[in-house]
Amino acid sequence: MKFCSHCGGVLSQYIPPGDNRLRYVCGGCQTIHYQNPRIVAGCLPIWEDQVLLCRRAIEPRRGYWTLPAGFMENSETMQQAAARETLEEACARVRHLDLYTLFDLPHISQVYVFFRAELLDLDFCAGDESLEVRLFHEADIPWSELAFPTVGRTLECYFADRVAQTYPVRNESLEALRAHYKKA
């Protein structure tokens, strides 16, 4: 950031009085420009004993499989964002969105939120950001071709929880994800 979006003045980076972090502050109007994490919201779309995955058509991780997800927009709830992203990426409609996994990724200033969701029907296809969209049984999940650890962990939790038909909300940190995959 170089210029103030309020007055066009030059920004400096320092810790403002009463704060404890570096911030961009306008030298002209003294506006503090806060930078906050971005929320990525998505769905774990379910049809009977299968889950819907999308093969990414965009970077990062083009060609790898993922759950439909993307950045939350202003003026929408996390559930609305997750349903919208599922519609955009898989042309799929979902209902009964239940909060399922939350991942804190401070190294990239993001929070990932996935909702378990029921597919309304089998009328889905690849959207603009997907090369392919398919339903997978657990045995057919392309584990080595998953785009992100958050996707793999969400799928692992789901298939384990499905056995007991109990789906607790899980909140895991980057450190917990790293530790989990080091053991595997």
Give the pLDDT score at 181. 74
Place of tokens 């404890």: 20
pTM for the model stands at 0.89
- Indicate whether 69 pLDDT > 70: yes
- Indicate whether 46 pLDDT > 80: yes
Q: Does residue 86 sit in helix, strand or coil?
A: helix
Q: Look at the alpha carbons of 104, 108, 111, 114 in this order and tell me if their dihedral is positive or negative.
A: negative
Q: Are 180 and 96 in contact (CB under 8 A)?
A: no
Q: Does residue 156 sit in helix, strand or coil?
A: helix
- Indicate whether 174 pLDDT > 80: no
Q: Which domains are seen in the chain, by residue range?
A: 1-35 (2.20.70.10), 38-183 (3.90.79.10)
Looking at the DSSP bridge assignments, the partners of residue 43 are: 115
Give the C-alpha separation, 108 to 41, whole Å. 15
What digits encode the pLDDT tens for the residues 145-173? 999 999 999 999 999 999 999 999 999 98
Give the pLDDT score at 180. 76
On average, the pLDDT of the chain sits at 95
